[in-house]
Amino acid sequence: MIPFSQITHVLLDMDGTLLDKYFDDYFWEHLVPEKYSEKHDITFGKAKELLSAKYKAHEGTLNWTDIDFWSKELKLDIPALKEQIKHMIEVHPHVKDFLIQLKMNNKKVFMVTNAHYKVLEIKLRETSIGEYFDKCITSFEMGHPKEQQEFWHKAQTLINFEKERTMFIDDTVNVLRAAKQYGIKNLFLKNRPNSKREPLVHSEFQTVDDFNELCKMISDQHKL
C-alpha cells in the first residue's frame, strides 16, 4: 500500500511503463533487422544475430536509446523508420486515468526516460499524454542513463524531489535498483511492459500489472 497522501512527486518511465513496449520490441527485433538484411544482402537470421551483438554492446549507455547513433552505426534512417510505424504506438490501459487522478490530487508528475528526445517527441505527439506532466526529463538532458547515479543526482537538483515522498514506476529492474540505491523509497515495477508477452516475474520490487490497481488505491485512500 502506498501512502498517497504523503507522496508529493511521481516519476514515471515512458516505454514499457506508460506505453506498450510492443512497439519498441517490434521495431528493434523485426523491422530494423528486416531493413538491415535488405541493405547488407544477408539473411534475416544473420541480421538479427549481428544486431543482437551490437545492441548488447551498448546496453545501459546513452548510445542504447540514441537513434542518431544507431542511424550512423547501422546506416539506416532510424527516425524515418519509427515514423513509418508510429500508428503502432499505444498507451497501456488506464494510464490516462491514473495521470488524471495524480493531477487532481495535486501531485507533481514527471516523466523520466532514457528515450531519445526525437522519439519522445513522436510518442507524445501520437499519444497526447504530455499534457499531464510538469516536465519530461530525458537521459540525454541529464547526460547519463537512469542506470547511473549521476542521473538521479541531476534529476533531484532539477525538480527538487524528496526521496521519502517520491514514487517511481519503471519496467526495468536495473533502473529501479539505481533509484533504490539513490534512496527513492516508493518503487514499483511495471511487470508487463509488452502486452503481447508474459508478465515479468520479480520479487525484489512491488509490481503494477494494470494502472487501474493504482487508480483504485488512490480512490480508496481518498475516501478514508
Residue the block writes with cell 511487470 = 191
Q: Do 82 and 121 sit in the same domain of this protein?
A: no
Last residue of a domain, one of 63, 87, 111: 87
Residue the block writes with cell 513496449 = 21
The 10s digit of each residue's pLDDT in 189-209 is 999 999 999 988 778 999 999
Q: Is the pLDDT of residue 224 over 50?
A: no
What does pLDDT average to over the chain? 94
Q: Do 32 and 118 sit in the same domain of this protein?
A: no
Q: How many domains does the chain have?
A: 2
Q: Is the pLDDT of residue 223 over 70?
A: no
Last residue of a domain, one of 31, 66, 87: 87
CB atoms closer than 10 angstroms to residue 129: 19
Q: Do 154 and 199 sit in the same domain of this protein?
A: yes
- Nearest residue to 36 (alpha-carbon basis) of 50, 22, 23: 50
Please tell me the predicted confidence (pLDDT) of residue 158: 96
The 10s digit of each residue's pLDDT in 24-39 is 999 999 999 999 999 9
Q: Do 145 and 36 sit in the same domain of this protein?
A: no
The 10s digit of each residue's pLDDT in 170-184 is 999 999 999 999 999
Q: Do 113 and 185 sit in the same domain of this protein?
A: yes
Q: Do 111 and 211 sit in the same domain of this protein?
A: yes
Please tell me the predicted confidence (pLDDT) of residue 201: 77
Rounded mean pLDDT, 185-189:
95
Q: Do 128 and 101 sit in the same domain of this protein?
A: yes
Q: How far apart are CA 127 and CA 68, in angstroms?
A: 23
Q: Do 196 and 116 sit in the same domain of this protein?
A: yes
Please tell me the predicted confidence (pLDDT) of residue 219: 81
Rounded mean pLDDT, 97-122:
95
Q: What is the DSSP string of the chain?
A: ---GGG--EEEE--BTTTB-THHHHHIIIIIHHHHHHHHHT--HHHHHHHHHHHHHHHTTSGGGG-HHHHHHHHTS-HHHHHHHTGGG--BPTTHHHHHHHHHHTT-EEEEEE-S-HHHHHHHHHHH--GGG-SEEEEHHHHTS-TTSHHHHHHHHHHH---GGGEEEEES-HHHHHHHHHHT--EEEEES-SSTTSPPP--SSSEEES-HHHHHHHHHHHHH-
Q: Do 105 and 197 sit in the same domain of this protein?
A: yes
Q: Which domain holds residue 76?
A: 23-87
Q: Do 99 and 169 sit in the same domain of this protein?
A: yes
Q: Can you give the CATH number for the domain in which 202 is found? A: 3.40.50.1000
Please tell me the predicted confidence (pLDDT) of residue 222: 64
Rounded mean pLDDT, 72-79:
96
Q: Do 34 and 107 sit in the same domain of this protein?
A: no
Q: Do 94 and 156 sit in the same domain of this protein?
A: yes
Q: What is the pTM of this model?
A: 0.94
Last residue of a domain, one of 87, 106, 140: 87
Based on the number of CB atoms within 10 Å of its own CB, is 203 exposed (0-12), middle (13-18) or buried (19 or more)?
exposed
